[in-house]
Structure 1
Amino acid sequence: MSTGELNRRNLFRAGGVVAAGAAMSMLPGVSFAESAPGAGQQTKTVTGTFRPDVPDWYYLPVDVPPGVKQIDVVYSYDRPSVPSGTRGNACDIGMFGPEGHELGTRRGFRGWSGGFRDRFSISASEATPGYLAGPITPGRWHVILGPYTVAPQGLNYRVDITLTFGQDTSKPFRPNPAPETAPARDRGRSWYRGDSHLHTVHSDGKRTPEQLVADARAAGLDFIVSTDHNTSSSQLVWGNYATDDLLILNGEEVTTRSGHWPAIGVPAGTWIDWRYRASDPRDFRRFTDQVHRVGGLVTAAHPFANCFGCTYEFAYEIADLVEVWNGPWTADDESSVTHWDGLLRGGRWIPAIGDSDAHNPDHTVALPHTVVQADRLGRAELLAGLKAGRSWLAESKDVQLDFSVSGAGRTAGIGGRLVADTGTPIEVRAVVRGVPGTTLTFLDQLGPEHSETVPESGTATVAWTTYPRYSRWVRVEVRRPSGGPKTTTPNAMVAMSNPIFLGAPDAG
């Protein structure tokens, strides 16, 4: 069966629809005959061509009869040569069940692998990572195809759908989410190290959950947030790999065509839709509200990442956090910090966060990570600390930072406010350890105000005096002129803090 060539002019002739929000289209479907009792398989093939002006999402209806115990899908597409500077072919894939595929239909979602896999299987007992095991209910399923980029020549695709009939005698899949505590690392009110942007084989990562846990423990982390792209599948298995010295929180990197926004700290099994663009602000608000209703936080991820669909184009005021440092320090991170600092100077403070976004074994977990002050090592407490900006960012577990201000007999720490008259002298003080070869700088809304070189011992105490009359807030950066781990970018960040505000609340 062939769909022919589809573009915006003949979508309706092909039975397509353009939905509100990100454009989407329906492809001609396939039906399978009911099988006689017993085992057996049927395979149907769909081929077609996408042109460069296609919508974001296509849905291939698959009518599944009773008696099916497993669905297998294999797809492929051509990759013709393109001139330098021209985007080639890339196409994502996923699956929705008969409960529906309309925007926000969580019950219908059965999995997503983007462009990372060329095949997947779903049965009641197990599923390919990224997909959800469960009964193969009779009805109209939908394979979703997402032409991510399309070469000028078009994208020729093929989808093979195989149904296996018979009674599934294996045990049904039983979710096993991560425990809600990690008692060996819970120190009560303290500073906790965590990486809140990480991937496994459940999306486009190459680490298994077990390997990610091992690397996070070796990096000295107290907590991690699993944020596989556009799927909730890994959230249901973390209990199989949890230890008592690492708290595992659930998340999803909501990966849209207008940027990525990790939803972090959500209950296990939470799925957030991603089929819209920044031009659909009501949809973005709808799904960020969903995250907030279940107690999670919204992160604006790698805002200036130089890849199609990666740059954050949504409204910053809806985000709870801005990921200003993503992986080894690069020019993208410099742009993110500059933009975040500009928001802060303009009176819009969104706490900064740093994450490794580690996908593969050669990506260092916890480079960087965020150190957050929380009342205990628990989901609600950690998220409260992050949202309040009681946090600082670190290159590794070797980096230590203590940053505070004092004046008029009072003291305030990161994310806090010291209320004082405009003429009150305020001592700004930072103590660092584990940062040899660096320079420490205090900044306020005017920019860098005071810098000192850290001795080769890597330990220093730096103090500077300002006044609320001159500084509305202060923050600290520690940088290494020669670069940092896995980067040759000069003036690389080693540590940085969220601000401490000075003066009356209406002055910050």
Structure 2
Amino acid sequence: MERRDVLRLSAAAGAAGAMTLGRVSFAEAAPAAGQSADGRAEQTRTVSGHLPTGAPDFVYLPVEVPHGVREITVSYSYDKPAVPDGTAGNACDIGIFDERGTALGGAGFRGWSGGARTEFFLRADDATPGYLPGPVNPGTWHVALAPYTVAPQGLAYEVTITLRHGPQGKTPAPVYPPERARGRGRAWYRGDNHLHSVYSDGKRTPARIAALARAAGLDFITTSEHNTTASHRAWEGLWGDDLLILTGEEVTTRNGHVVAMGTDPGAFIDWRYRARDNAFGKYARAIRRAGGLVIPAHPHATCIGCNWKFGLNEADAVEVWNGPYGPDDEITLAEWDNTLVAHARGRADWLPAVGHSDAHRDPDVVGLPQTVVLADDLSRRAIQDGIRAGRVWIAESARIDLSFGVTGERGEHAGTGERLAVSRTAKVTAQLKVSGAPGCTVSFVTDQGRLYSAPLPPSGNGTVSWQSTPDYAAYIRAEVRHPSTTEGLPGPMAALTNPVFLGRS
């Protein structure tokens, strides 16, 4: 069965642009086309075709699934021809939607593996990681191809679908992580909200990630697989009094990625749109309705499709530090600092800064960096409230501890994320107490830039203070940096805080 080109457009299939191929039918096929290992009948069809440069973001292959199917298995391949230097080659993701359809919102969503796998299966009692177990109901299913980049020669693909007949199994009831752990009451809690496992393009199991989180001194983590909620049910037995596990998703669009942090278990957030579709606000609201936070991830990362192009108006926080600190984080930090200036001048709300590891595989370090949140307890809501309020600082590891605050002449005090409401000419003292940062330098940064720096003692433990006024500094935040490794650039970050705003609003 040959499908060389797209046969018709499907406007309902996705705002970012989609096409639908001709149908693949099994309804008239002889059930004895092959035999599975346990004697059940199999049917297989293979479709090949070619996508030109400039193909839409999503190409749907309709598959007519008859009654009596127990399991559906899909494999695919595509060519990777040589391309000129500086030109993107072929890359094509894959996923599947069931008989409920491909409409935006994801009612029919059954799984996504991106480019991490070349085959997958689904049945009632089990599924490939990244896919949702459940019955294989009769009707029109859609294999979704997502040509991420297409070479000048185009992209030649082949998709093979196998249906295995037999009685449906029983779908196990999902067991999701609890929303609360024992914790320590109101305290600073350490977490990493951007992590990947074998349920998307990571190489670690959930059990391995949980062990690494505990070893890193974390109190909470968020599972945030690319465009799938399949991992939400994969953490049974891995949480405990010492580790809160939140569910979420890394919504991976063609114009940037966003961490939907702490969404309801099983809540799917669609990703099939671009910035030009003016649809992000709708899905940001969907994240919030599902109880999550909207956190743009690595806004200036250099990978294709990773740059954040939706603006920050819908965000609840922004990931200014992603994995080992690098030049793209420095750019994001500067951009975020500009938003603080706008807020200090009364022109915009302010966005708290967070940091996450985005760890996928060895040697990626879980908890490098980690977001440290002042929360009333170790629960989903309390952690989210702390982040939303900006009661957050970021550190490269649990070895670093700090406290930061600004005090007025009459004993007034404000901590990270708060406002010190004093007169414009009142003297204020910023103080940062640090431990575990040998060789580092502390700086205080304001709306005028970095105004004071001082080295820590060789031990890495010390207290640095600096005086100013609201007239001179609309806000003060602190940075702890390693020595510079590149001439003309500041050193890599060891820790940073959110600001204390100065003056009466």
Q: Name the TM tier (shorter chain).
A: over 0.9
Partner residue of 1:76?
A: 77
The structural deviation recorded for 1:242 is: 2.2
**In structure 2, what is the Cα distance between the partners aligned to 1:483 and 1:269?**
44
Partner residue of 1:478?
A: 480
Q: Within 5 A, what are the aligned runs for 1:28-43?
A: 28-33=22-27, 39-43=40-44
**In structure 1, what is the Cα distance between the partners aligned to 2:214 and 2:504?**
42
Partner residue of 1:366?
A: 367
Give secondary structure in 2 for the equivalent of 1:266.
Answer: coil
Give secondary structure in 1 for the equivalent of 2:286.
Answer: helix
The structural deviation recorded for 1:476 is: 0.3
Partner residue of 2:159?
A: 159
Residues 190 and 372 of structure 2 are in contact (CA less than 8 Å); yes or no, is this contact kept in structure 1? yes
Does residue 1:392 correspond to 2:393, yes or no? yes
- The one-letter amino acid of 2:334's match is T
Which consecutive residues of structure 2, in runs of 5 or more, have no partner in the other structure?
33-38
Does residue 1:51 correspond to 2:44, yes or no? no
- The one-letter amino acid of 2:227's match is N
Residues 194 and 366 of structure 1 are in contact (CA less than 8 Å); yes or no, is this contact kept in structure 2? yes
Q: Within 5 A, what are the aligned runs for 1:398-437?
A: 398-407=399-408, 408-437=410-439
Partner residue of 2:459?
A: 457
Structure 1 residues 26-49: Cα deviation after superposition (integer angstroms, max 9, x where no partner): 011101036669820000011001
Q: Within 5 A, what are the aligned runs for 1:225-236?
A: 225-236=222-233
Structure 1 residues 204-240: Cα deviation after superposition (integer angstroms, max 9, x where no partner): 0000000000000000000001100000000122224
One of 215, 218, 221 as aligned partner of 2:215: 218
Taking a change above 3 Å as real, the CA distance of residues 202 and 18 of structure 1, as seen in their structure-2 partners, is same
**In structure 1, what is the Cα distance between the partners aligned to 2:432 and 2:281?**
39
Partner residue of 1:310?
A: 306
**In structure 2, what is the Cα distance between the partners aligned to 1:456 and 1:81?**
53
**In structure 1, what is the Cα distance between the partners aligned to 2:97 and 2:40?**
24
Q: Within 5 A, what are the aligned runs for 1:40-439?
A: 40-104=41-105, 106-168=106-168, 170-183=169-182, 186-281=183-278, 283-347=279-343, 348=348, 349-407=350-408, 408-439=410-441
Structure 1 residues 476-501: Cα deviation after superposition (integer angstroms, max 9, x where no partner): 001001559xxxx9600000000001
**In structure 2, what is the Cα distance between the partners aligned to 1:434 and 1:483?**
20
**In structure 2, what is the Cα distance between the partners aligned to 1:326 and 1:475?**
19
One of 437, 460, 468 as aligned partner of 1:466: 468
The structural deviation recorded for 1:346 is: 2.0
Percent identity between the two aligned chains: 51
- The one-letter amino acid of 1:475's match is R
**In structure 1, what is the Cα distance between the partners aligned to 2:75 and 2:289?**
37
Instruction: Number of aligned residue pairs: give it.
Output: 489
**In structure 2, what is the Cα distance between the partners aligned to 1:351 and 1:179?**
26
- The one-letter amino acid of 2:70's match is K
- The one-letter amino acid of 1:17's match is S
**In structure 1, what is the Cα distance between the partners aligned to 2:320 and 2:237?**
32
The structural deviation recorded for 1:181 is: 2.4
Point out the more displaced range, 489-498 or 225-234: 489-498
**In structure 1, what is the Cα distance between the partners aligned to 2:172 and 2:448?**
57
- The one-letter amino acid of 2:292's match is G
**In structure 1, what is the Cα distance between the partners aligned to 2:15 and 2:305?**
16
Residues 70 and 123 of structure 2 are in contact (CA less than 8 Å); yes or no, is this contact kept in structure 1? yes
Please give the TM-score of this superposition, normalised by the length of structure 1. Answer: 0.94
**In structure 2, what is the Cα distance between the partners aligned to 1:433 and 1:86?**
47
- The one-letter amino acid of 1:149's match is T
The structural deviation recorded for 1:307 is: 1.2
Structure 1 residues 118-155: Cα deviation after superposition (integer angstroms, max 9, x where no partner): 00000000000000000111100000000000000111
The structural deviation recorded for 1:244 is: 2.7
Structure 1 residues 261-282: Cα deviation after superposition (integer angstroms, max 9, x where no partner): 010011110110000001112x
The structural deviation recorded for 1:295 is: 1.9
The structural deviation recorded for 1:449 is: 1.1
The structural deviation recorded for 1:469 is: 1.4
Give secondary structure in 1 for the equivalent of 2:232.
Answer: helix
Give secondary structure in 1 for the equivalent of 2:84.
Answer: coil
Residues 71 and 163 of structure 2 are in contact (CA less than 8 Å); yes or no, is this contact kept in structure 1? yes
**In structure 1, what is the Cα distance between the partners aligned to 2:312 and 2:364?**
28
Residues 176 and 240 of structure 1 are in contact (CA less than 8 Å); yes or no, is this contact kept in structure 2? no
Point out the more displaced range, 474-483 or 40-49: 474-483
Which consecutive residues of structure 1, in runs of 5 or more, have no partner in the other structure?
7-13
Residues 247 and 377 of structure 1 are in contact (CA less than 8 Å); yes or no, is this contact kept in structure 2? yes
Taking a change above 3 Å as real, the CA distance of residues 454 and 284 of structure 1, as seen in their structure-2 partners, is same
Structure 1 residues 84-132: Cα deviation after superposition (integer angstroms, max 9, x where no partner): 100000000000001111111x331000000000000000000000000
Structure 1 residues 3-39: Cα deviation after superposition (integer angstroms, max 9, x where no partner): 2244xxxxxxx22234572000001110103666982
- The one-letter amino acid of 2:136's match is I
The structural deviation recorded for 1:315 is: 1.8
**In structure 1, what is the Cα distance between the partners aligned to 2:27 and 2:425?**
83
RMSD: 1.5
**In structure 1, what is the Cα distance between the partners aligned to 2:241 and 2:433?**
31
**In structure 2, what is the Cα distance between the partners aligned to 1:36 and 1:501?**
71
**In structure 1, what is the Cα distance between the partners aligned to 2:175 and 2:459?**
46
Partner residue of 1:4?
A: 4
Residues 179 and 239 of structure 1 are in contact (CA less than 8 Å); yes or no, is this contact kept in structure 2? no
**In structure 1, what is the Cα distance between the partners aligned to 2:231 and 2:172?**
13
Give secondary structure in 2 for the equivalent of 1:261.
Answer: strand
- The one-letter amino acid of 1:451's match is S
**In structure 2, what is the Cα distance between the partners aligned to 1:346 and 1:441?**
21
Residues 31 and 43 of structure 2 are in contact (CA less than 8 Å); yes or no, is this contact kept in structure 1? no
Please give the TM-score of this superposition, normalised by the length of structure 2. Answer: 0.95
Give secondary structure in 2 for the equivalent of 1:316.
Answer: coil
**In structure 1, what is the Cα distance between the partners aligned to 2:352 and 2:171?**
43
